[in-house]
Amino acid sequence: MNFTFNKFYLSLTLLLLLVSINTYAQPLNKITHYQPTRFACYNSANLLRIVIRSYDLNSKPYYLVVNPNTFITENIPAITCKTATLATSELLATPYMRALIHYTSPPYLLDNYGMSHAAQAVNGVFLTIDMCPARKPFETDFFNTLVKLSDKYQQPMPIAVAISGLWIINHPDEFNWLIKQSQENKLQITWINHTFTHVYYRDRPLAENFLLVPHTNASYEILANEKLLLEHGLTPSVFFRFPGLISNETLVLKLRQYSLIPIATNAWLAKDQQAKPGSFILVHGNSNEPEGIKKVLPLLQNLHYHWLPLNAAFEK
């Protein structure tokens, strides 16, 4: 990587830091020494976990761990994690590791690579909502509808939000509203990593766009976004959505290295793709794609649709 590009990312980081300091009313946690890793451990309840990140939270060592059976992540103090001596074959036999290897294996597609629907027959569908950087306000009526459904069914509405760091920084009130709905058990949110800046150029071909723009620092895009979520007391999931759904073999193997499972779609509603049982429905909640919101609203009111959390899509 050349000096000019490093200087660009340094300048961008400093600028965004200044913006965030002036924007967020609530204090941020301090995350330092954030590193990808992978090893097995037993938590304080003697349950197996796979450590995928190590970091300091307000100067205290922590781990981001994943339950290898449920795919649910947790942030735990490092001191509570006892290293497990598992054979490689035992680790690879867990549902999470099987899925990680399967969904980062050939054939590698330029467009829509990854898991696009449930791995098993399920009585329901999965709602994934992309929050790419945008200046417009988010889809207020849509999100309020989701909250009303939680009131109607007396349980939180499960959604997966593919969120970008720049959207968070530019929409603090809306982001804090989402956090509040989660805290009040209105929305059950799985936070999908959608990169920090979500690089995109209108005049570039797909093979040189999004994360495939030459010299893009994919590691920065992935890890900076996770750190931002952690700074706000949220837990990053093990799921990742490529910006534009565009990728290549190098990027997919980077996800494997970082223990992330790529999430694609087989029901991008704005592109007239129809939802079927087990579908990963894709809409944009950032007001950039109103056609998708128009099409999902009737589905939300349809009693035949059963909405499921993303981790329920995997074989256990």
Write down the architecture of domain 103-316 according to CATH: Alpha-Beta Barrel (3.20)
The pTM for the full model equals 0.92
Of 68, 66, 64, residue with least CA distance to 77: 64
The pLDDT tens digits of the residues spanning 35-92 come to 999 999 999 999 999 999 999 999 999 999 999 999 999 999 999 999 998 888 999 9
Contact predicate 282/265, CB 8 Å: yes
The pLDDT tens digits of the residues spanning 250-275 come to 999 999 999 999 999 999 999 999 99
Q: Round the average pLDDT of the chain to a whole number and report it.
A: 93
What pLDDT does residue 264 have?
A: 98
Confidence of residue 16 (pLDDT cuts 50, 70, 90): low
**Pairwise CA distance, residues 273 & 292, whole Å:** 10
Whether 169 shows a pLDDT value over 50: the answer reads yes
What pLDDT does residue 11 have?
A: 53
Phi-psi region of 17 (alpha: psi -120 to 50; beta: other; left: phi over 0): alpha
Cα torsion at 28, 127, 316, 44 (round to 10°)? 20
What pLDDT does residue 28 have?
A: 78
What pLDDT does residue 283 have?
A: 98
What pLDDT does residue 26 have?
A: 56
The residue-averaged pLDDT of 141-166 equals 97
The residue-averaged pLDDT of 129-144 equals 97
CATH 3.20.20.370 location in the chain: 103-316
What pLDDT does residue 15 have?
A: 53
What pLDDT does residue 232 have?
A: 95
